[in-house]
Amino acid sequence: MYFYAPVPGYENHPVIFVSYIDALAFCQWRSISAEMPTDFFRLPTEDLEKGIDHAVIMRAGRILRDCSFDELKEEFCLVRVTALGGELPSELPFADVVEQQRTNGQAVITVKNSSPEQIEQTAENMNCRVEIQTLPLEDIYRIVVS
């Protein structure tokens, strides 16, 4: 159970040092306590992020990242690789793979610090089709704080 007592004079200031998961839990609790659907109160979406273009990601009072949302989105991407003839090799030759899920002929990987051109060239050299997507900010946050 959480208890929050604001410091006098700071009652209308934002709460800081809150994890993403705790913020989601608060939104759900606030929605239920207001007798609204559980997703009535929610965290900002990508539409709101367009007006707020800065992220400070912290853990245990330490700043992990202090940059724009665009910089975060450029740093990570989601890549789907499909073998055009047969199976994928056991080791995928992509640099800085953060996460990976795979079947025999397909892999979905999260890649860090690779340009779309590098990814496409690597996939072409493997005789694979590739789809590159922007990684959602929730996933980027999870990766950065882990």
Residue 56 vs residue 120, higher pLDDT: 120
Instruction: Tell me yes or no: is domain 75-145 CATH 3.30.70.
Output: yes
3-class DSSP string for 74-139: HHEEEEEEEECCCCCCCCCCCCCEEEEEECCCEEEEEEECCCHHHHHHHHHHCCEEEEEEECCHHH
What integer pLDDT is reported at residue 52 of this predicted model? Answer: 59
Under 8 Å between Cβ of 72 and 58: no
What integer pLDDT is reported at residue 129 of this predicted model? Answer: 93
Residue 69 vs residue 77, higher pLDDT: 77
What integer pLDDT is reported at residue 53 of this predicted model? Answer: 65
Q: What is the mean pLDDT of the chain?
A: 82
Range among 9-13, 42-46, 82-86 rated most confident: 82-86
Rounded Cα distance between 47 and 87, Å, is 39
* DSSP secondary structure letter of residue 10: -
pLDDT at residue 132 greater than cutoff 80: yes
What integer pLDDT is reported at residue 40 of this predicted model? Answer: 83
Under 8 Å between Cβ of 31 and 39: yes
What integer pLDDT is reported at residue 104 of this predicted model? Answer: 78
**Confidence category of residue 119, pLDDT binned at 50, 70, 90:** very high
Give the residue extent of every domain in the chain.
75-145
Mean pLDDT across the stretch 28-57? 74
